Structure 1
Amino acid sequence: MPSLRKRLMALDPATVSTVLSLLPTILEQANKTIEKIKKGKRKGEAPGAPDLVENRDPAARIAELEAAVVQQAEAVKMLAEQHAITIEALRKEAARLERRLRLMTGVAMAGVALGLGGLVIAINLLFR
């Protein structure tokens, strides 16, 4: 069974470009998440600074958090759809490669059979 690296190297360029086209979106979402985490840590690290979050109306804060949750849910949904597209493209590519492998195996077997047959005929003609 071929290694994963050999399988990945044999992928169709169209499939690879599809997967690569999704990477910027994934990286963008990851960077946004990292920035939000960093901002949260900065606010928590300032010991003498007044916390603006605590001074706001709780209803406004809840609404803000709900909006953030909806936004994150939409981002997750978009990423899930992109992953589904990628997985489908990889499945199609794997099926195509499987068909190609079977075809090439059959051609190789026929070539070996013809080669052996030709060798037998040549040996018979040589020793007559």
Structure 2
Amino acid sequence: MALDPTTVSTVLSLLPTILEQANKTIDKIKKGRRKDDGPDGAAPETRDPAARIAELEAAAVQQAEAVKLLAEQHALTIDALRKEAARLDRRLRLMTSVAMAGVALGLGGLVIALNLLFR
């Protein structure tokens, strides 16, 4: 059974965004580790704590927006996959019904042929 091309394109269109967000997060983690791995004699941070808190709050808001965007994209993907599954289920039921009708007709034809053969 083949997947619907629109479903495949929807899922594939979301992958770059997900990978981009993952790469941004990985880069932020790496940058944070580099700052933590500074030399032992490094001077303590001289920035204002309020500015640092504001910066962290802005980063948290940005991350929350990214998570919201990803959640919306996942919801679209799940919806598309559900629609495709429903379409495939209907198709399977139709094909099963056609196969059952074919078997019934085949058995009926076989009974008639055997009756005509052994008369």
Above 0.5 in TM-score?
A: yes
Q: Percent identity?
A: 86
Distance 1:69 1:43 in 2: 19
State the Cα RMSD in Å. 1.4
Distance 2:70 2:3 in 1: 22
Structure 2 counterpart of 1:124, one-letter code: N
Deviation at 1:10, TM superposition (A): 4.3
Distance 2:33 2:6 in 1: 42
1:29 to 18, 21, 30: 21
Distance 2:81 2:108 in 1: 40
Deviation at 1:120, TM superposition (A): 1.0
Deviation at 1:45, TM superposition (A): 1.1
Structure 2 counterpart of 1:28, one-letter code: E
Deviation at 1:123, TM superposition (A): 1.3
Structure 2 counterpart of 1:36, one-letter code: K
1:38 aligns to 2:30 (yes or no): yes
Q: Which residue of 2 aligns with 1:16?
A: 8
Which runs of no fewer than 5 residues in structure 2 stay unpaired? none
Between 12-21 and 84-93, report the one with greater CA deviation: 12-21
Q: Which residue of 2 aligns with 1:6?
A: none
- What TM-score comes out, normalization by structure 2 length? 0.92
How does 1:59-78 map onto structure 2 within 5 Å? 59-78=50-69
Greater relative CO, 1 or 2 (CA 8 Å, sep 6+): 2
Q: Which residue of 2 aligns with 1:79?
A: 70
Aligned length: 118
Query: What is the DSSP-based 3-state SS (H/G/I as helix, E as strand, rest coil) of the residue aligned with 1:55?
Result: coil
